[in-house]
Amino acid sequence: MSTAFTFSIKRIRFDEHYRPAENTRTTTNFANLARGQRRQENLRNTLTMIDNRFNALAHWDNPKGDRYNVELEIISVEMNMDAEHRDTALPLIEILQTTIVDRKTSERIEGIRAVAGAQQEPAGVQHAGGFRRAARQAVQAFRELEHL
């Protein structure tokens, strides 16, 4: 008997209204931030820390430290081994897709490209100077927050 594997990709915005799915692993740090009585406060505080850290890293054109906003989306990939039983999907990976929003110019600069195999940089990134470095450091800061 041959089994057909199917994969699904799900996207959900990580903001103060984020609610983890019922089948989200309890070891998922995103989900742990969004549980409990103070879930929205936890999420707001985390997002504020991410924005503050990014603005501190992107200081060269940002004297007040409030020019940029980091938007996050959780991308989840699941594998189904039986097309008839989609409720038994095996979670494979979760990653964050980042978008940097420039509040001064209203420009949106993508972080991770969601399209597999994309070879070119998103518009604006080639001349964005230290954005990639700042984005990497902001993601590192987020990872450090996960361990608190």
Q: Structural domain tally of the chain?
A: 1
pLDDT at 131 over 60: no
| Residue 114, domain extent | 5-146
Can you tell me the distance from the alpha carbon of 123 to that of 4, in angstroms, rounded to the nearest whole number?
A: 38
Q: What pLDDT, on a 0 to 100 scale, did the predictor assign at position 74?
A: 87
Contact 30, 36 (CB under 8 A): no
pLDDT tens track for 74-109: 888 888 877 666 567 788 888 888 999 999 999 999
What is the mean pLDDT of the segment spanning 61-85? Answer: 86
Evaluate the CA torsion angle 140, 114, 47, 26 in order and state its sign: negative
Q: Does the structure show a pLDDT above 60 at 148? A: no
Token pair belonging to 39: 């879930």
Whether the per-residue pLDDT at 23 is higher than 70: the answer is: no
Q: Per-residue confidence at 27, pLDDT binned at 50, 70, 90?
A: low
Q: Are 89 and 80 in contact (CB under 8 A)?
A: yes
Grouping H, G, I as helix, E, B as strand and the rest as coil, residue 144 is helix
